[in-house]
Structure 1
Amino acid sequence: MARKAAKKTTAKKAPAKKKTAAKKKTAAAAPPAKAVKVTAVAGKTVTASALLQSVADHLGVKKSEAKAMVEGYTDVVKAYVMKGSKVKIGDIGMIMIRARKARMGRNPQTGEPVKIKASKKLAFRQSSVMKAQVMGGR
């Protein structure tokens, strides 16, 4: 038996792993945003069809796919806004519902006081980035 004890082998241990600081995963560098090509004329209203075509061209997808994406996005935004959340849309701004209190107003023709009921309204607040672009650096 003594002989068996002498032959007893020890299990090899795996080499201890060095403890290193966890590497931070950085987001893959996004390719530079390609310029959006628009064919709008100043002062003209852009139709939904023209907007969808621009989105499709920008993303390189079919117009029907762009329509599905845009409609899905707007449905989600509407759902959040209707629940009372403020929805920030990139560097464009924020959409929200604002409550308006009941107040007294005047009939402009007769001048008599009129009660105005409390109401809600859809509001948009532009971002500082968008404001700077619109103002042109003033």
Structure 2
Amino acid sequence: MAKKAAKKKAPAKKKSAVRKTAKKAAPAPAKAVKVTAVAGKTVTASALLQSVADHLGVKKSEAKTMVEGYVDVVKAYVLKGSKVKIGDIGMVMIRARKARMGRNPQTGEPVKIKASKKLAFRQSAVMKAQVMGGR
């Protein structure tokens, strides 16, 4: 009995992976933000989220997730001692205040004031110019 010789199959050639590089689109021009605020009135979180959702074209719940995530990240950096620059608005940081001597306004007695930390905000030059109205 003759055994038939088994033919060995050559391993299949691997298909070369064709990588398509994604073209980077030019950043879209910033569209104007539609704001319906009245001067002197406080903007609620709900109204702010609705404005963000309308501006980005997403659901209010998605805007809430994005805004809360952004705030959490900024808060984490600030609490670690970093200065966080927020676009053309300004910078948020923690400032240390040294211990000092103060005076009780009622009695005039000198009083020791302990060292402390405070949350501080410094506006950017761009924002300052816009607030001042180009003066």
Task: Give the structure-2-normalised TM-score.
Answer: 0.81
Which whole-Å deviations, capped at 9, do the CAs of 1:86-134 have from their partners, x for residues lacking one?
Answer: 0000000000000000000000011101000000000000000000000
Which whole-Å deviations, capped at 9, do the CAs of 1:34-60 have from their partners, x for residues lacking one?
Answer: 100010000000000000000000000
Distance 1:44 1:6, change over 3 A: closer
More off after superposition, 82-91 vs 19-28: 19-28
Identity of aligned residues (%): 90
Count of aligned pairs between the two proteins: 134
SS of the residue 2:54 aligns to: helix
Between the aligned partners of 2:49 and 2:15, the Cα distance in structure 1 is: 52
User: Per-residue deviation at 1:77?
Assistant: 0.1
Partner residue, 1:16? 12
Which sections of structure 2, spanning at least 5 residues, go unmatched?
none
Distance 1:132 1:4, change over 3 A: farther
Distance 1:25 1:104, change over 3 A: farther
Between the aligned partners of 2:6 and 2:50, the Cα distance in structure 1 is: 82
User: Per-residue deviation at 1:73?
Assistant: 0.1
**Deviant stretches of 4+, over 2 Å:** 1-8, 13-31
Which sections of structure 1, spanning at least 5 residues, go unmatched?
none
Q: CA RMSD in A?
A: 5.4
Partner residue, 1:52? 49
Task: Give the structure-1-normalised TM-score.
Answer: 0.79
